[in-house]
Amino acid sequence: MTTFNELALDPRVLKAVAEAGYERPTPIQEQAIPHALEGRDVLGIAQTGTGKTASFTLPMITRLSRGRARARMPRSLVLAPTRELAAQVAENFDIYAKYTRLTKALLIGGVAFGEQDKLIDRGVDVLIATPGRLLDHFERGKLLLTGVEVMVVDEADRMLDMGFIPDIERIFKLTPFTRQTFFYSATMPPEIERLTNTFLQAPARVEVARQATASETIEQVLVELKPSRRDRAASEKRKLLRTLIEAEGERLTNAIIFCNRKVDVDILAKALKKERLDAAPIHGDLDQSLRTRTLDSFRAGELKFLIASDVAARGLDVPAVSHVFNFDVPGHPEDYVHRIGRTGRAGRDGKAITLATPAEDKQLAAIETLIQKPLPRGANPLQAPPGPAEDAAEAPEAASPPKPARSRKRSAKPAPAPQPEASTPAPAVPDAAQQPAATAAPPQPTEAAAPAKADTPARKRGGGGRGKGDDRRGAVVGMGDHVPDFLLREFRVS
């Protein structure tokens, strides 16, 4: 197995890495760094938690340590989809570059332009940015990208979800053709493939196993809930969540609780706070300084429950999270993998508990297809398991509690993947290529849809909502052709 010392990195980088306590390169580092140091473009198929940030930062620092920055002309550019991810890359850079004299600037929204302008004017070696903010600076005439020697695109598939691909293409075109490019994505949907074919030159393709298949330290549980009435689903889920949290007792030291929509993040955080749980929300609509504060206190162990949306939490490196809860089953199966990857990191044990109502069956089936196994069913402490007599009598669905066996049967044979929406490119799954691509986009808008441009796939995916007018009778899933009559009966929501 390779050691860092064999990787021909700058000795100052090696010193910083040793101080960070890293003993050996991770697989993505071991594969990517030699190519990067040779000056080749790298296409990295890896997700967060694999050490991918260091896999591009370490060779980048090594390359940039020769030469000097010029005013307004950054020598390298790192693009990340969210502010938090960009800030995280900047933190990593500070650690690895501490013995060099390289300078950096972080350009993210929600922060005043003035300070960022000053840094750029002085000249920076590394510019770390979200695409929108970078283009804002460019359009204000504050920045020239013609001196970029190295460009990194991180989490490209998430950029696609957020509608950033046109921005990325534009930025690529503003940088010199001679640049070296590092391009990272967890999955390779066709749109991303096209981008890499256009802008990367004979890249070295390096790929590491998906986290969900690799991490054996995460215990996954699915708890099914059959709401007594459709309009009570959210409140009954909250009650179930509360009960499950209590049941975990002292094993639960902290948790990230994911919701699909920003509005639900807020509602849940408020509800938990009201019940005196130490909870705070994080999502894209919140003020940047508040997001940073919330995240810092969660990292420092001062905040116990982080209620999060996918975009805000994606890729966050919080080393010790004991639990992840999926308050909603994520609409994109990849997000399930990302979410549960927040726990069980660095060899620690972790538990991921997913709450699901029958309305989420379709999303659940897509996840089970992706991870190629059924999620183990856990008991719902609020709904007694069915007795043998009830089972035999085939009681009407509404009156009977959930039947895990039925779901298991359904899941054991991976469900046929739902047809991708016409406007949504199906994300490819690199190490399950023979699997049907699964894009079970739910009809409600997710946060990913929010920053999307007018005709981006993310935007098209949105649309409906869970409002009163949202008639979902036609969307009953998981029962084959048979829809029991009681489900089609009208009822009034008070």
Chain contacts with ligand AMP (rule: CB under 6 A): 22, 24-26, 29, 48-54, 317
Instruction: Classify residue 454 by its DSSP letter.
Output: T
Is the CB of 53 or the CB of 260 nearer to ligand AMP?
53
Is the CB of 213 or the CB of 235 nearer to ligand AMP?
213
CB of 345 to ligand AMP, least distance (A): 7
CB of 36 to ligand AMP, least distance (A): 14
Is the CB of 48 or the CB of 456 nearer to ligand AMP?
48
Is the CB of 25 or the CB of 74 nearer to ligand AMP?
25
**Which residues of 16-107 form beta strands (DSSP E)?**
42-45, 76-79, 104-107
The CA–CA distances, whole Å, from 126 to 90, 203, 284, 483 equal 9, 22, 25, 58
- Classify each residue of 69-90 as buried b or exposed e, where b means 16 or more C-beta atoms within 10 Å of its C-beta: beebbbbbbbbbbbbbbbbbbb
CB of 315 to ligand AMP, least distance (A): 6
CA 434 to chain centre: 23
The CA–CA distances, whole Å, from 447 to 327, 458, 472 equal 15, 9, 21
- Residues whose CB is less than 8 angstroms from the CB of residue 300 and which lie 6 or more positions away in sequence, other chains included: none
CB of 305 to ligand AMP, least distance (A): 21
Is the CB of 23 or the CB of 394 nearer to ligand AMP?
23
Is the CB of 28 or the CB of 269 nearer to ligand AMP?
28
CB of 227 to ligand AMP, least distance (A): 37
Identify the CA nearest to 366 among candidates 419, 425, 443, 315: 419
Identify the CA nearest to 280 among candidates 311, 260, 302: 302
Q: Please name the amino acid found at residue 199.
A: F
- Residues whose CB is less than 8 angstroms from the CB of residue 173 and which lie 6 or more positions away in sequence, other chains included: none
The CA–CA distances, whole Å, from 426 to 43, 141, 383, 447 equal 20, 38, 36, 19
Spatial separation of the C-alpha atoms in residues 465 and 467, rounded to whole Å: 5
The CA–CA distances, whole Å, from 191 to 89, 200, 332, 434 equal 25, 14, 17, 19
Is the CB of 182 or the CB of 327 nearer to ligand AMP?
182
Is the CB of 32 or the CB of 450 nearer to ligand AMP?
32
- Residues whose CB is less than 8 angstroms from the CB of residue 29 and which lie 6 or more positions away in sequence, other chains included: 7, 51, 54, 55, 58
CB of 373 to ligand AMP, least distance (A): 24
Residue 81 near residue 164, CB atoms below 8 Å? yes
Is the CB of 157 or the CB of 360 nearer to ligand AMP?
157
Joined together, the tokens standing for residue 64 give 């940039």
Residue whose pair of structure tokens reads 């002292």 in the numeric block: 250
CB of 83 to ligand AMP, least distance (A): 16
Is the CB of 54 or the CB of 106 nearer to ligand AMP?
54
Is the CB of 152 or the CB of 279 nearer to ligand AMP?
152
Contacts 24+ apart (CB under 8 A), 15-18: 15/99, 16/95, 16/96, 16/97, 16/98, 16/99, 17/54, 17/58, 17/96
CB of 217 to ligand AMP, least distance (A): 14
SS3 label, residue 178: coil
CB of 395 to ligand AMP, least distance (A): 49
CB of 312 to ligand AMP, least distance (A): 16
Joined together, the tokens standing for residue 102 give 């390289």
CB of 54 to ligand AMP, least distance (A): 4
